[in-house]
């Protein structure tokens, strides 16, 4: 199989020797996902599912900065502010359907999360059959930084991280390097950038019965110990508290400087986003499937988009005006209405996800 890879498409489609190759191609935007890219990926994966010439799919990103910085939140901001409700629904419904499609693919998908991989990028790479990071990888679910909540199946992954690492990463939006991503369950292998070209060639020219995993193992290396593993004691202690005020109290009582810095970060974050996200990760931990987690997230993201001012304000402060001074509503965790979290989970989106 071979297809031409053009330079102007949001997704480059190609491949050779039984390998289907998909490349996100918006390098100036660190390959941020828009709806056209989501649709192109989904259509191609559907076509390849029944294509006997394609055995394995490789998914990567163009440029040196990263695999995917996430969904195009500037476009989301414009949709919400402009009252384009149907477009907001369509974006999330189709993005989540793509994430689930990747997770349930009958043909193994090998994702290369080199460089930046955040938000929507986790939705693509984090659910692939073989998830590869490099020494340049920087993974995160930073949604609370814009007054939002982790989605694209992020709550499913976070809920399955060791101990209370999931709560910590979700609430802080903390960045993982390769070691952290492997430890937290967001990746399977670390392959140095210098070995990627050889890995690509091996996947294209592999001799049966070598599986993709067996080939990846020829190139992977063991990274340094994870800082998350080193910090487990104070993270588990603090983030096992019943609620956000309890987490803050425990963090402030710790001796570790990083714990106290984490308390300062959370105190300045959007109270609604923190409280809803904490509950979302804990509920996702008990859900039976990724599909169920995506359905839960779908209701939450639409609740944020259509009923809460924090999401629009967070995007404005971080990415539009870039003043880095959001005005959260409410501004303090102490002022969060007692029923706010229950309200979020009771929200019933129309139309439903699937």
Show which residues are catalytic.
Answer: 71, 120, 143, 151
Angle, helices 85-103 vs 73-81, to 10°: value is: 150
Spatial separation of the C-alpha atoms in residues 209 and 212, rounded to whole Å = 10
How are the residues of the chain apportioned to helix, strand and coil, as percentages rounded to the nearest 5? Answer: 50, 10, 35
User: At a CB cut-off of 8 Å and minimum separation 6, what does 130 contact?
Assistant: 108, 109, 110, 111, 188, 189, 212, 213, 216
Spatial separation of the C-alpha atoms in residues 257 and 266, rounded to whole Å = 14
Q: What is the DSSP track for 43-95?
A: HHHHHHHT-TT--EEEEEESSSSEEE--B-HHHHHHHHHTT-HHHHHHHHHHH
Please, are residues 189 and 132 in contact by the beta-carbon 8 Å criterion? yes
User: At a CB cut-off of 8 Å and minimum separation 6, what does 50 contact?
Assistant: none
Helix (H, G, I), strand (E, B) or coil at 264: helix
Number of neighbours of residue 95 by Cβ within 10 angstroms: 27
């Amino acid at each position: 199989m071979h297809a031409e890879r053009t330079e102007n498409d949001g997704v480059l489609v190609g491949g050779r020797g039984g390998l289907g190759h998909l490349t996100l191609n918006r390098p100036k935007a660190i390959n941020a996902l828009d709806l056209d890219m989501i649709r192109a990926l989904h259509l191609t994966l559907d076509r390849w599912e029944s294509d006997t010439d394609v055995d394995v799919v490789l998914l990567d990103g163009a440029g040196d900065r990263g695999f995917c910085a996430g969904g195009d939140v500037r476009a989301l901001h414009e949709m919400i502010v402009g009252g384009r409700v149907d477009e907001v629904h369509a974006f999330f419904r189709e993005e989540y359907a793509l994430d689930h499609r990747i997770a349930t693919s009958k043909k193994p998908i090998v994702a290369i999360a080199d460089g930046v991989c955040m938000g929507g990028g986790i939705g693509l790479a984090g659910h692939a059959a073989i998830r590869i990071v490099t020494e340049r990888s920087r993974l995160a679910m930073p949604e609370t930084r814009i007054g939002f909540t982790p989605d694209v199946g992020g709550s499913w992954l976070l809920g399955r991280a060791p101990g209370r690492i999931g709560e910590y990463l979700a609430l802080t939006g903390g960045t993982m390097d390769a070691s952290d991503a492997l430890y937290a369950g967001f990746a399977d292998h670390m392959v140095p950038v210098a070995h990627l070209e050889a890995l690509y060639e091996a996947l294209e020219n592999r001799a049966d019965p070598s599986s993709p995993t067996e080939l990846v193992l020829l190139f992977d290396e063991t990274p340094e110990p994870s800082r998350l593993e080193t910090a487990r004691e104070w993270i588990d202690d603090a983030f096992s508290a019943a609620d956000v005020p309890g987490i803050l109290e425990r963090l402030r009582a710790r001796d570790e400087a990083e714990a106290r810095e984490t308390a300062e970060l959370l105190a300045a974050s959007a109270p609604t986003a923190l409280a809803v996200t904490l509950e979302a990760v804990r509920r996702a931990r008990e859900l039976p499937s990724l599909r169920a987690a995506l359905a839960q997230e779908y209701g939450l993201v639409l609740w944020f988009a259509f009923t809460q001012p924090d999401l629009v304000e967070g995007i404005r402060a971080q990415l539009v005006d870039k003043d880095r001074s959001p005005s959260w509503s409410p501004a303090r965790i102490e002022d969060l209405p007692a029923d706010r979290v229950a309200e979020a989970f009771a929200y019933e989106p129309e139309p439903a996800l699937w």
